[in-house]
Amino acid sequence: MTTTPERRFKDAIYEQFARLGKAVSAPKRLELLDVLSQGPRTVEELAEQANISIANASQHLQVLRAARLVDAEKKGLYVEYRLAGDEVGRFFLALRGLASTRLAEVDQVTRAYLERSGAMDPVDSDELMRRVKAGEVTVLDVRPPSEYRAGHIPGALSIPIDELKNRLKELPKNREVVAYCRGPYCVMAVEAVELLRKKGFKAQRMEEGVVDWRARGWRVATEGARP
């Protein structure tokens, strides 16, 4: 078969496209991109979040860095990783959306988990986001403080999930509480709503997170969280 300049050009271009596919072909690398969508992280923090060893996290990050999906910066004794640009966050969001619409297994796995945790209440996502944006509910961000500082929904109260039980008095009981974390497949908000309801609060989980909020073109705040 004759190889023409045009054929060599196409082969070279698609080979470069394939680098991205190879970089995101591991589940843990996708999880690391998801966490980094919330804000910069050290290797140690990423390893803890993804429940893998530091060495394993470092290897995955090197693959993502080679594909120009993440950047690294030395910060004292630590190396901090971040997404290489906003377009990487949009790429992850598009990939997540494509998977949820094309793969029935995504819905099956999600539904099975939410049914076990009693979090399958029907919620109009757009209406809930409208109420959040309008300030009609108490918005609770249950992610770690560093993620809140990197970007959060304006007006949201930062109470990390592991502190929620001891800080319930900071939440008004006469207003509905809407908890959010990293997006539709993050379980921290599910745990928060379960706890709040047991304590007598009217609470709902918002599936969307800061990445989804920003994708709508809405303002994301970056004020500091409580130490």
Question: Which residue bears the tokens 């923090």?
Answer: 45
Please tell me the predicted confidence (pLDDT) of residue 127: 83
Question: Which residue bears the tokens 């971040």?
Answer: 82
Does residue 94 have a pLDDT over 80?
yes
Does residue 116 have a pLDDT over 80?
no
Average pLDDT over residues 193-216: 91
* CA gap 92, 31 in Å, rounded: 10
* CA gap 83, 37 in Å, rounded: 7
* CA gap 193, 139 in Å, rounded: 12
Query: Which of the 8 DSSP states describes residue 224?
Result: P
The domains of the chain are located at 5-88, 118-215
Question: Which residue bears the tokens 């319930």?
Answer: 168
Q: How confident is the model at residue 224 (pLDDT cuts 50, 70, 90)?
A: low
Among 91, 48, 47, 51, CA closest to 69: 91
Average pLDDT over residues 144-157: 93
AA identity, residue 162: D
Average pLDDT over residues 186-197: 93
Does residue 227 have a pLDDT over 70?
no
Cβ atoms 56, 47 nearer than 8 A: yes
Q: In this predicted model, what pLDDT tens digit does every residue of 1-23 receive, in sequence order?
A: 778 999 999 999 999 999 999 99
Q: How confident is the model at residue 77 (pLDDT cuts 50, 70, 90)?
A: confident
Cβ atoms 113, 188 nearer than 8 A: no
Query: Which of the 8 DSSP states describes residue 206?
Result: -
Q: How confident is the model at residue 118 (pLDDT cuts 50, 70, 90)?
A: low
Does residue 156 have a pLDDT over 80?
yes
Does residue 29 have a pLDDT over 80?
yes
For the domain with range 5-88, which CATH number is right: 1.20.120.640, 1.10.10.10, 3.30.460.10, 3.40.50.2300? 1.10.10.10
Does residue 121 have a pLDDT over 70?
no
Q: In this predicted model, what pLDDT tens digit does every residue of 37-55 receive, in sequence order?
A: 999 999 999 999 999 999 9
Please tell me the predicted confidence (pLDDT) of residue 112: 86
**Annotated catalytic residue 181:** yes
Please tell me the predicted confidence (pLDDT) of residue 119: 58
CATH class entry, domain 118-215 = alpha beta
Residue 107 tokens read as 């819905």
Please tell me the predicted confidence (pLDDT) of residue 114: 80
Q: Pick the catalytic residue: 139, 140, 150, 181?
A: 181
Residues in the chain, overall count? 227
Burial zone of 143 (CB within 10 Å; 0-12 exposed, 13-18 middle, 19+ buried): buried
pTM score, two decimals?
Answer: 0.84
Does residue 226 have a pLDDT over 60?
no
Average pLDDT over residues 134-144: 92
What SS3 state is found at 214?
Answer: helix
